[in-house]
Amino acid sequence: MAFKYALCSEVFSTPLGETITSIAEAGFDGIELAPFNAADSVEEVSAGERHELRKQALDAGLEIVGLHWLLVSPAGLHLTSGDAAIRRHTTSYLQALAEFCSDLGGGVMIFGSPKQRNLAEGEDPRLGFERAAGALKEVGKTCEELGVRLLLEALSPLETNFLQTIEEVLELRDAIDSPGIGYMLDCKAMSSMPEGIEGTILRHGKNAGHFHANEPTGKGPGMGDVEFVPILSALTESGYEGWISTEPFDYKPDPATVAATALKTLREAAGA
């Protein structure tokens, strides 16, 4: 199938208007927005500013796919905290993010944010699970009402001690039991899973709501040793129909080169 390709906004450390232009000029179809690139809190972004962001992307020929890095700011957010007030604040902000995402025309919110979900040292994992499920139930309702989906992201043990496998993510999704809550797949994270990247895609790709393309090292596609032909082939075979979004963490030698190399690598891999 013909995939659509997006790039995460934080790759370019420029004002969002300039970033939108840069991503469009690089040839991508969409932008995946890190909310902290818009403001410390999206509640500070006015209706007019939201309209303008959406228009800027539209005028540049880009779709705003959605949001990621949801809880980096403002400070003090945490999904599994033992403090009920912090969890309520986190729920409220995730609901505000869903409104922000909807206002921009986005459809997905990627829940990674490892530091803001980690269990406290020695904490019972089941208790953390119950806290997370409780906090996200109301978020799921809001997402459903707005036509947005919050997608849980399994991350490697090097990044977090909570939700390290797709199976754990699916258990939490099923406990919440909301059409507004789903899951996504990330190459860097899947490289640490028992079935590897391709095996995990073949098992879980069909129902995934989003896909991040990157290297286990954090480099972008084409900047390391990973072969993306079998990855794109596995996505196609699995029946995945969503976006392929490049999420690098290493922007060397420069953002423009990382962006161009990623898009060329992915398009060539899809056509192989």
Annotated domain spans of the chain: 5-271
d(CA 66, CA 110): 8
d(CA 253, CA 257): 7
Structure tokens at 171: 């258990």
Residue in 155, 219, 216 with CA at minimum distance from that of residue 188? 216
Q: How many C-beta atoms lie closer than 10 Å to residue 85's C-beta?
A: 9
DSSP class of residue 158 equals T
Q: Residue 131: which pLDDT band, with cuts at 50, 70 and 90?
A: very high
Residue 272: what pLDDT? 55
Residue 77: what pLDDT? 98
**Average pLDDT of the chain to the nearest whole number:** 97
Give me the CATH code for the 5-271 domain, please: 3.20.20.150
Span 91-99, average pLDDT: 98
Residue 2: what pLDDT? 85
Q: How many C-beta atoms lie closer than 10 Å to residue 111's C-beta?
A: 28
Q: For 227-250, how does the pLDDT look when each residue is reduced to its tens digit (9 = 90+)? A: 999 999 999 999 999 999 999 999
Q: Is the pLDDT of residue 13 over 90?
A: no
Q: Is the pTM of this model over 0.85?
A: yes
Q: Is the pLDDT of residue 1 over 80?
A: no
Provide, rounded to the nearest whole percent, the portion of the chain with pLDDT above 70: 99
For 47, counting Cβ atoms within 10 Å of its Cβ (0-12 exposed, 13-18 middle, 19+ buried), the class is exposed
Q: For 183-218, how does the pLDDT look when each residue is reduced to its tens digit (9 = 90+)? A: 999 999 999 999 999 999 999 999 999 999 999 999
Residue 203: what pLDDT? 97
Q: For 15-45, how does the pLDDT look when each residue is reduced to its tens digit (9 = 90+)? A: 999 999 999 999 999 999 999 999 999 999 9
- DSSP for 194-250? TTHHHHHHHHHSTT-S-EEE--TTSPPTTSSS--SHHHHHHHHHHT--S-EEE--S-
Q: For 150-181, how does the pLDDT look when each residue is reduced to its tens digit (9 = 90+)? A: 999 999 999 999 999 999 999 999 999 999 99
CB 199 within 8 A of CB 226: no
